[in-house]
A and B are shown apart, each in its own frame.
Chain A
Amino acid sequence: MLTIEQEARAPGSLLLKLRGDADVTGTTQLREALLTGLNEQNELLIDCSQTTSFDFFAIQLLCSAHRSAVVGGKKIRLVAGDLPTLKQAIRATGFARQNGCSLCPDDDDCLWCIN
């Protein structure tokens, strides 16, 4: 089960700590947190260090959040995004990429540009 903790950072920046399994059962709750966070802040940090697994729906939702941030001129970043579980999940679901997408051509900002 997914639990989300919020932690205010520097002004305009919010940290979302995801604990447990990030799967389809928790995506409604995750969507709400992401939507509110992006509406109210300029920067959203997602801490995945306590996330035990990611399924396709969670990754697709993070992708949607990232696209929304780019369109709204805001920032979204993964903290501890080099975790093996996350890397493995984004490779398996085909999200891993070498270059950013059409919405976000800057490779450094893309959530899924991993080596």
Chain B
Amino acid sequence: MLDQQREVYKEEARELLSELEDSLLELEESPEDSELVAKVFRAMHTIKGSGAMFGFDDIAAFTHEVETVFDLVRNGEISVTKKLISLSLEARDHIRSLLEGNDIDLTKGAALVKSFQALVPSKTPAVEETPRTLPAENLSANSEAAATYRIRLHLVENIIFTGTRPDALLRELSELGACKVVAHTHEVPLLADINPENCYTHWDIVLTSTRGVNSIKDVFIFVEDDAELKIDLIDDGLSSDDELDYKRIGEILLDRGDISKEELEAILSQNKPIGQKLIDAKKVPQEKIDAALNEQEMVRAARQQRQAQDSASSVRVPAERLDLLVNMVGELVTVQARLSQAAASRDDSDLMAIAEEVERLTGELRDNSLNMRMLPIGTTFSKFKRLVRDLSGELGKKIELKTVGAETEIDKTVIEKLNDPLVHLIRNSLDHGIEMPEVRRQAGKPETGTVLLSAAHSGDSVEITIEDDGKGLDREAILAKGIEKGLISADAHLSDDEVFNLIFAAGFSTAKVVTGVSGRGVGMDVVKRAIEALRGSIAIDSRAGKGSVITIRIPLTLAIIESLLVSIDGDAYALPLSIIEECVELTAMDITNAHGRNLINVRGQIVPYISLREEFGIFDAPPTIQQVVITHHNHIRVGFVVDQVIGQHQSVIKTLGRMCKDVQCVSGATILGDGNVALILDSNQLAKKAEQMAE
């Protein structure tokens, strides 16, 4: 059981560490943001507390040092500096290695502990710190329901003689939770009459806290006899009703005794906001309206948060189980296709109705199970912030990473496989794209370069772009290198796109110096292959002096695709529907008119096509009228000639297995309703062939 709990802790700690990294990087940008400081503190606190609870004493002891420093930051005793962020990020990495049990560097850990201790005023680093086992902290306080209280406080005028400072009481109260305070000042005398050491103010406070009413009473324990204190529970934090709304202002004031029922009814008959009416009628002063508004706002906020927490409740499921579920749904989709086909052939209306119902349910089940594997791509994006921060320091450049569309969801497997190519592309942008600060200044650009990483849904694909405002690709250097490497002939006339695409060739690199970051020339071809393995495509655009844009398009999921079934010589093939624009007929006359070139005129536009019969070595006579499936591929239109278009199909993708891994132009297979196998055509490879043919 403990092993299971430890595994759960590890899972949670990984998530917290990932959030912690994000928060630290954000904090570096906005060091004054107290909410971020609190977030960092809470993450450290939870990692430490739960770590001690589940026997990760080394993590608990180490994290304690970091937490101590952030406690001081939280209290305004230490300010957030770049050094603190760098140390904290290193500490985060160290906690991660302690958690995973990999690459643990104890010397580094000890050095970090000393560095954190040195940040604590009046605490000099201990020569040798024996690891302490910390008591498992009471984490349940956080999980307790946060109740909201209305507190009305009148202190005696000469409260100062009891040694009590009103601000100290209010501060202590605010430490119990979110707190809004309104001071009522209408009894404060004018200067001529005031005794400045007396307290003439009284307060309305609304407090949301998990600590219970006794903690509130404890704050006032020493002024019990010198204060009028009224504490009302106005939201217990437990009610599970969906009612988000709280009382109206009039009701709150009535509840507080600030107005009588009769007065309220009389005022309500006028057509103005209640608060304004009451102030106009001099029934209630502005402060009391403010206090009531605070109460309304705090209770609504507490209820909203509770509802958000309720709806965010989740069950942790191992990824393998989800994969298994998706595989089974895939099988079900195949069986359902068979059922639909069998029902259609039997001409049995009852069976048809059942088949249609099963089809509808299977569709919903498929969508839902695929959705379960969808994760926001932001989880990957946030890792890059750290990468950019560290690398820009290493390269001596000033670079900011901006991200857009982090909430875009994509299949978990795709995200995992996308990580390495994206790391490589971002590294390239940092190393080759963005110039050194002085070069940028001379070019009239801001010293800080920007890399924009964005993601957006586009049909059943996701488009990811990496855009930098650096120097752009050097056309001439690429061309020269291409000639040197024998990739193109010296007299070739290439368009910009064609030149830029040379960088995807194996072993291509124009970097004059091989750096640890990039420039070994073993990257872009690998990136392209990785993207294509995900059935995606990659395109590059660049303008000298302005920067480059790399666009990656990848399917949302690798499990099931919508495809168009076509037949060639009696066999079925599937083409991804997302790339298909239209289907047009190809007659013998069209072929004759093209004078032996594989080109077709589609409403005045010439589109190159590739005959799949020829491609697959089928030399029987084709039907008199063939079909051209027109697809788009990186803004280029390419047609594929097939015998017949069968129709739309949901293809559960099956890999071809190791034996067929070198087969080109086919990316997988799918099982049809009649049990036959259809090959899924690799549109990228086919399009590449068509491009070469067009040349």
| A interface, CB within 8 angstroms of B | 24, 27-28, 30-31, 34-35, 38, 55-57, 60-61, 63-65, 67-68, 71, 89, 91-95, 97-102
Contacts and interface: CB of A to CB of B under 8 A. Distances in A.
B188 A92 contact: no
Contacts of B200: 60
B165 A64 contact: no
Interface string B177-192: 0000111011011111
B161 to A, nearest CB: 11
Given A24-B160, A94-B182, A56 B167 contact: yes
Contacts of A35: 191-192
B282 to A, nearest CB: 8
Given A60-B199, A64-B189, A68-B192, 20 more contacts: A24-B160, A24-B165, A24-B196, A31-B196, A55-B165, A56-B201, A57-B160, A60-B188, A61-B194, A63-B185, A64-B188, A64-B196, A91-B181, A92-B170, A92-B171, A93-B181, A94-B170, A94-B182, A94-B205, A99-B290
17 contacts: A24-B160, A24-B165, A28-B196, A28-B197, A35-B192, A56-B199, A57-B160, A60-B200, A60-B201, A63-B185, A64-B196, A91-B181, A94-B181, A97-B287, A97-B290, A101-B186, A102-B286
A105 to B, nearest CB: 8
B191 A102 contact: no
Contacts of B167: 55-56, 89, 92-93
Contacts of A24: 160, 165, 196-197
Contacts of A56: 165-167, 170, 199, 201
Nearest to B203: A94
On chain B, which size bracket covers the interface? 20 to 34
B174 interface: yes
Contacts of B171: 92
A87 to B, nearest CB: 12
B196 A61 contact: yes
B285 A102 contact: yes
Contacts of B203: 94
Contacts of A94: 170, 181-183, 201, 203-205
A57 B196 contact: yes
Contacts of A64: 188-191, 194, 196
Given A92-B171, A93-B167, A102-B285, A67 B196 contact: no
Contacts of A98: 290
B185 A95 contact: yes
Contacts of B191: 31, 34-35, 38, 64-65, 68
A114 B153 CA distance: 23
A63 B200 CA distance: 11
A27 B286 contact: no
A73 to B, nearest CB: 13
Given A24-B197, A102-B186, A93 B285 contact: no
Contact of A100 (B201, B205, B286): B286
